Amino acid sequence: MRKKVTLKQLAKELNLSISTVSKSLKNDSEISQKTINRVHELANFYNYKPNALAVSLKSNKTNTIGVLLPEILNHFYAKVLYGIEQEASKNGYKIVTCITNESYEKEVEYVEMLNYSSVDGFILALSKETQMLNKLDHFKDLKRDNVPLIMFDRVSGEIDCDKVIVDDKDASKTAIQHLIKTGCKKIAVISTIFDLSVGKLRLEGALEEVSLHDNVSLIQLPINNVETEENEIESFLKNNEIDAVLGLDETAAAIAINMANKLGYSIPKEISVIGFTDGLLSKHSYPKLTTVSQHAEDLGAKAAKMLLDRLSNTSDTNYQTNTEVVKTSLILRDSTN
């Protein structure tokens, strides 16, 4: 159904051998200028492009990066993807994106599928289920095959690979510090991701920081299902005389600011709100949300750079792995004093 020009056809039409044509296209100094010109002319005429598959098969290199994301509707991951894509395409790499949808099984499937041999390396964040089951054999296989692998955000200590993480613990410390500094005494921490590595780290940071201060207390509110638990969240906020809320993820942050508005609390006068989010929320909430920015795009770009680095230093197979930490920053807006 599909017909593309090949070297063979060019060669035939020009009465040359395939290899001469191939070399001409690369302007090989071995070939006479005249031949080179003839070849280029016909190649242009037919809009010849080398078959990427054949080149990859030959060179054992696909110039493609596999990216596995737990979710794409989450703005954080979308931004990371954007960062990766920018950096990759700048270097002539394309990316294959798979969305695991937080499923262990899909993650395994995708890793296997891409590993034969569609990609040169992987960038990924673990799915929720994988983190909970802690089954990591599919990544050990990759390591055994010497396939470069970068984990970001949701990483595992059990896999020895390059990592890019966010300083989640510090981030929530800073957030709590700010709240305390501006006079808050009773802080609610709400989260829909208490069971993820990052969720735990963020909570830890908050707890540690609070413990350093007298007269400041912290209450936790885990949320599993926003829709069904709306009432409980509401009464939680109403009954606890809270003067600040820290949302550990974008959804939680949204809920927080939304509820506060609904209950008629004045923000930030009566309640201060800080949220972990890089999304639209911060800009388009009212009042504008003070956020912990995770610099998702930078993170993506950094991960891509690390991978490209590994791919170009193909020599040393037994390298030392790195973990880079992306610093968050607290972006002050109108929802805090």
Is residue 180 within 8 A of residue 206, CB to CB? The reply is no
Q: Dihedral through CA 74, CA 78, CA 81, CA 85, nearest 10?
A: 170
Alpha helices (runs of H) in the chain, residue ranges in sequence order: 7-14, 18-25, 33-46, 52-59, 75-90, 104-115, 128-133, 137-144, 168-181, 197-211, 230-239, 250-262, 280-284, 296-312
Q: Which is nearer to a second copy, 35 or 115 (CB)?
A: 115
**Which residue of 17, 113, 323, 329 would you call a contact of a second copy, by CB under 8 A?**
113
Q: Which is nearer to a second copy, 172 or 251 (CB)?
A: 251
Q: Which is nearer to a second copy, 110 or 210 (CB)?
A: 110
What type of residue is 31? I
Q: Please state the closest distance from residue 81 (CB atom) to a second copy, in A.
A: 6
Mask 36-65, x = binds DNA (CB under 7 A)? --------------xx--xx-xxxx-----
- Cα separation of the two ends of the chain: 65
Q: Which is nearer to a second copy, 117 or 177 (CB)?
A: 117
Q: Which of residues 62-91 bind a second copy (CB under 8 A)?
A: 62, 64, 72-73, 75, 78-79, 81-82, 85-86, 89
Is residue 327 within 8 A of residue 167, CB to CB? The reply is yes
314 touches which of DNA, a second copy, none (CB within 5 to 8 A by kind)? a second copy
- For 39-65, b/e burial (b = at least 16 CB within 10 A) is beebbeeeebeeeeeeebeeeeebbbb
- For 7-26, b/e burial (b = at least 16 CB within 10 A) is bebbbeebebeeebbbbbbe
Q: Which is nearer to DNA, 24 or 272 (CB)?
A: 24
**Which residue of 9, 22, 35, 56 would you call a contact of a second copy, by CB under 8 A?**
56
Contacts to a second copy by CB under 8 A:
1-4, 47, 49-54, 56-57, 60, 62, 64, 72-73, 75, 78-79, 81-82, 85-86, 89, 94-99, 101, 106, 110, 112-118, 141, 145-147, 226, 250-251, 254-255, 257-258, 261-262, 279-281, 283-286, 314, 317
